[in-house]
Chain A
Amino acid sequence: MRALLVGCALVWMASILGAQAQLPQDHPAVGVPDGRPGASELTERLRPSSAKPASSAIPRKNLIDEFIFGKMEKDGVPHAGLSSDEEFFRRIHIDLTGRLPQDDQLRAFLASPDPDKRDKLIDQLATSRAYETKWTYFFNDIYRPAPGRIGNTAKNIFYLWVRDNIHLDRPYNEVVYEMLTSNATSNWYIGPASYVARWVITAVACEDEVHEDTSDELAIHAAKDFLGVDISCASCHDGARHLEKINLYLSQRKREEIWKMAAFFGRTNVLRRTEVSNAQDEYSIDDNGPGYDPSARTVIRVPRRGKPGLLDPVYMFTGEAPDPAKHPRPEFARMLTSDPQFARATVNLLWSEMFGVGIVEPVFGFDMARLDPKNPPPAPWDLQPTHPELLEALAQYFRENNYSIRSLLKLIAKSNAYQLSSQFPGEWKASYAPYYARKFVRRLKAEEVYDSLVGATNVFTDVPIRGTDVKVRYAAEAYSPDEFVRGVNDPILKEIHFFLESFGQTNRQSSERNNDGAITQAVQLMNSPLVHRQIKAVDGSYLAGLLKQDMTEDEKITRLYERFLVRRPAPKEIADAKDIVKSGAGGWEDLQWVLVNRVEFVHNF
């Protein structure tokens, strides 16, 4: 019932990071999303920098370091020093596992003299259960399996399939191939089938009537999710006279090329198995359909005015036609997964998640005409990636390592470029940002905020996974954000849902993730019933356990800091905390309140 027209890429600030000051300083596109180093050109006065000289002695551990530090050295850009052990310890937990570490581990890590301890920690975290949870959630945000479209049964089986892939570190090209080519008598029983089923467009009478709309959606989502190219704009109109300032490659594309991409799915039927649609939709998928007719009616797009008849598919990025002896859909999947852009887009996505900013931004807004340094685009365009050769090298590494997500993430995490501190000695300038000259500060995502809160306080709420007997405790473990929402009359779950929404959780249907700040977030952290509950020293809570221990006050305060902020407190902080806890048990709760509301608590740096 709900036709989803996916937005075309909102390519804002497409050029900024690669700009190297080629955009005029007052250009309106020089603006950045929340949390990233800001567009300071307008307000900042130039001051001599006291930062480290570019060629400081930070060892280059892998290819990432060669490119990142190499470019900074070449352009004379100063960078931050390496992160401290404390800084690194917290950050790597959040970035790799979406969760805070437990306090004991911090002390052991800090005390260890092992020069390879960071690498070993990375190896350990990359096989942890929390790693699987986080990256399953991450990829599901991309695939968007919403119970509102496919029902709980399918949502659950799809979730478990995705999680298995992460657990086994299945080659990502195989995973994507399987999703794109899945056939099923019912998507309630075949996990990967829900990727296709989820995008079906239905008309009131019969989905066959808008068969081409579904084909369009599948081509658009496949190109976006796996190639990082958002062709949805051109699915309604030619790129010409629309996209000249947005995307050079797409501005030259014709709507007919999108139809020919969609034609790969022209024979794919996604059919409801029930007569009357309801929320628990169950679909069958087969390839016995008629084909793609570019004059067919549409319920979600500008009318198609192609020539009546069936279009032959053409893969637009290479011009390749499928082998006529084979089904078009597996041919599409083969072409896509062997396209170099697949590796490029995937590594860029993972890079963006770890570094905070992609080598190409937005990550679903690749401009295919601006990637090759040997073939640069005409002025006023410049190359889109901040480090085009690095992007190619990473893509190559990914391919050579069997499309292993885990290997790529470990490569990133083990680089010293990733391990730079977020503290910058001297005056930070926005022009340093494209060099990754420090670790960027970002606010934690909604699930990370909640999971940090419950993890640190050790006070959990069981969240039932609908359609199963499973209960989870962390927001990132939810099979779907809907677990907190649909048909639920539990007031505590409603509070959690409200909390997550305030911090910009996506519902994988109508909303995108939003990491902007808002006053509601401050209200929630300061005064929501949820937070008040979390900070109480109830039985089983971390605080209650701590207070029973035979330790000095200083030591207890130190433990709380290690638990919440994953670092040791400064002497002044201990002194301030002692003042706070003077007033007894309520004072300790006040201290927890303060820690949860400290700026550090909800940021990753």
Chain B
Amino acid sequence: MSNLLDTLLTRREAFRVGASLVSAYWFLPLVEPANVYAQSKVSTRGSARFVIFVMLEGGQSHVDSWDLKEGKWTPQNFDIREIAPGVKWPMALFPELAKQRERYSLIRSMEAWDSVHFRAQYYVQSGHMMNPALQKELPPIGTVVAYESAARRQASDTLPGYVAVNVTQSQAGLLGCGFLPATYTPFHIDTTSGIGAISLDDEGRKTLQRRWELLKKVDERLRNDSSLAAKAYRDYHNHYEGAVAMMSDERASHVFQIEAAEHDRYGKSQVGDGCILARNLVEADAGTRFVLVNHRDWDHHNRIYADANHYKLCRELDTALSSLFDDLATRKRADGRTLLDETMVVCFGEFGRTPGELSAANGRDHYQYALTGLFAGGGIQGGRVIGKTDELGAKVIAPDWNGKRSVYMEDVATTMYSALGIDWSKVIEGAPSGRAFHYIEPFASKQMIKNQEITNLFT
């Protein structure tokens, strides 16, 4: 959405970075918009440089996974063992993650604000309640991260700040940049169809360069027309510059590749592929700061314990996450820190599922009053299980964190921003509706709860 901010971006001339391949595209929005202010002095944690968010679309059944509750319904073949005091674990579903407990922590005292897919997924992507009045203009978390990270981009960075994998077919769709500049809109990838376009080999890069030069020569007039009337063309051209910069970068060919051996190791699944891409993006450190990976099809209303349902997805997730942790924890930067040290990994669905007995369709339905999230990296201490639900998994009975109540998406978003060194109390005025955009609403959606960082994860 072009808007007040975009009109300030036309001064490309001021940001020309020589005649090199690196485009000025990413630097355009360094112009600070008017009316951005912070509400209060917050001290951010700054312990992470990246966030990978694996979203379990449809809602994972918490009582059958990370907040296991046993009852008459529990299948015999879950292979349940107590892997730590008070931690019962379905070994048949998450064998690898069971071995990596020191790398991540679980929060069992989470809740969702909504139990309708697209509203709850909207919440997870944006950190805000879905409000019809703001919906079209409100930027998601990844866009805010990309926007805030723009100031820290290197001249050599060519990758978009926010990358989203396999999200578009979810019920909420993929939220676009809202009223922030289109530079920060998520770059979306579909691992089953969209990757081929971005990853080029040497031959492909040469061809692209050749054609790009031809195109610029032939199309020079409209692309370089700086008059107001030609703004539409100019904006269009800006996206081309960004795209060419990205595709010409050799790193893009590695980042957006999924090699067969890796595909196998990560579990031969879409979520596995998504995690490979996330790892690559983080490792390349070429501009991407927030990666949203969608794991589809957790919405097990029918026959949840059929192999193709809960079992399959749990095993996919187990292999994908554990491989991701393996790679992040063993690959190091020049200063000796591992990728996991500087990458916060978060994983949960938009809500939990109905606990206790199964439904008439032998499944579990949407349930917002309890869910479990997995948190790792970026300064987060592993090995913890924070929070408790009752014996059925129906209610949070012990929040166990500094907030002293259930954890909601706003708290998670605050934690992400803080870890990334982003002042979450910021407000941008002058959104197209006339309202102000709060990075984090001072008070949560349906109750007057102060949103805050989950410090228990770190200390």
Query: Which A residues lie at the B interface, using CB under 8 A?
Result: 1-8, 10-13, 28-40, 42-44, 204, 232-233, 245-246, 276, 300, 422-424, 427-430, 438, 441-443, 485, 491, 494-495, 497-498, 501-502, 507, 509-512, 514, 516-524, 526-529, 573, 576-577, 580, 590, 593-594, 597-600, 602-603
Contacts and interface: CB of A to CB of B under 8 A. Distances in A.
B218 A594 contact: yes
A28 B429 CA distance: 8
A507 B173 CA distance: 9
Interface in B235-290: 235-240, 242-244, 246-247
B204 to A, nearest CB: 7
A34 B136 contact: no
A300 B114 CA distance: 10
The 9 closest A-B pairs by CB, nearest first: A28-B430, A7-B132, A522-B243, A12-B432, A494-B193, A31-B3, A428-B229, A528-B197, A511-B173
14 contacts: A4-B118, A30-B4, A34-B2, A34-B232, A36-B2, A245-B434, A429-B228, A495-B194, A516-B182, A518-B176, A523-B198, A527-B247, A528-B197, A598-B218
A602 B223 CA distance: 13
Nearest to A8: B132
Interface string B422-459: 00000001111110000000000000000000000000
A141 B98 CA distance: 48
A573 to B, nearest CB: 7
Contact of B198 (A246, A423, A527): A527
A580 B214 contact: yes
B1 A33 contact: yes
Interface of B: 1-4, 6-8, 10-11, 35, 116-119, 130, 132-137, 160, 168-173, 176-177, 182-183, 185, 187-188, 190, 192-194, 196-198, 200, 204, 208, 210-212, 214-215, 217-219, 222-223, 227-233, 235-240, 242-244, 246-247, 361, 365, 429-434
A441 B215 contact: no
B215 A598 contact: yes
Contact of A522 (B7, B116, B132, B242): B242
Contacts of A423: 229
Contacts, number: 226
Given A491-B193, A501-B168, A514-B176, A2 B116 contact: yes
A520 to B, nearest CB: 6
A147 B101 CA distance: 43
Contact of A42 (B2, B8, B433): B8
A597 B215 contact: yes
Contact of B118 (A13, A494, A510, A529): A510
Nearest to A601: B219
B240 A526 contact: yes
A521 B232 CA distance: 14
A469 to B, nearest CB: 26
B176 A28 contact: no
A517 B243 contact: no
A441 B133 contact: no
Nearest to A230: B132
A599 B433 contact: no
| Interface secondary structure of A, over-half rule | loop
Nearest to B197: A528
Contact of A6 (B1, B132, B246, B432): B132
A42 B243 contact: no
Contact of B217 (A37, A38, A424, A576): A576
Given A30-B4, A44-B228, A523-B243, 16 more contacts: A10-B134, A28-B431, A28-B432, A43-B7, A246-B433, A430-B228, A438-B229, A443-B232, A443-B236, A520-B187, A526-B197, A526-B244, A526-B247, A528-B196, A528-B197, A598-B222
B274 to A, nearest CB: 15
A197 B344 CA distance: 45
Contacts of B3: 31-32, 39
Given A5-B132, A34-B232, A43 B246 contact: no
Given A28-B430, A491-B193, A497-B193, A518 B228 contact: no
A7 B242 CA distance: 33
A3 B219 contact: no
B211 A590 contact: yes
A573 B222 CA distance: 14
B137 A517 contact: no
Contacts of A491: 192-193
Contacts of A526: 197, 208, 211-212, 240, 243-244, 247
Contact of A524 (B35, B197, B212, B222): B197
Contacts of B212: 526
A76 to B, nearest CB: 20
Contacts of A39: 3-4, 7
Nearest to B301: A1
A293 B430 CA distance: 40
A520 B361 CA distance: 41
Contacts of B228: 37-38, 40, 44, 427-430
Given A441-B233, A518-B182, A529-B196, A233 B132 contact: yes
A571 B190 CA distance: 42
A497 B229 CA distance: 32
Given A10-B135, A246-B433, A598-B219, A2 B190 contact: no
Contact of A11 (B247, B429, B433): B433
A544 B194 CA distance: 28
A255 B85 CA distance: 54
A529 B418 CA distance: 40
A438 B229 CA distance: 10
A213 B6 CA distance: 40
A577 B215 CA distance: 11
B4 A31 contact: yes
A511 B193 CA distance: 20
Contact of B8 (A43, A44, A600): A43
Contacts of B117: 1-2
A498 B243 contact: no
A150 B269 CA distance: 30
Nearest to A40: B228
Contact of A600 (B170, B194, B204, B222): B222
A30 to B, nearest CB: 7
B19 to A, nearest CB: 20
B133 A233 contact: yes
B434 A602 contact: no
A442 B236 CA distance: 11
Given A498-B194, A517-B236, A520-B188, A7 B136 contact: yes
Nearest to B171: A510
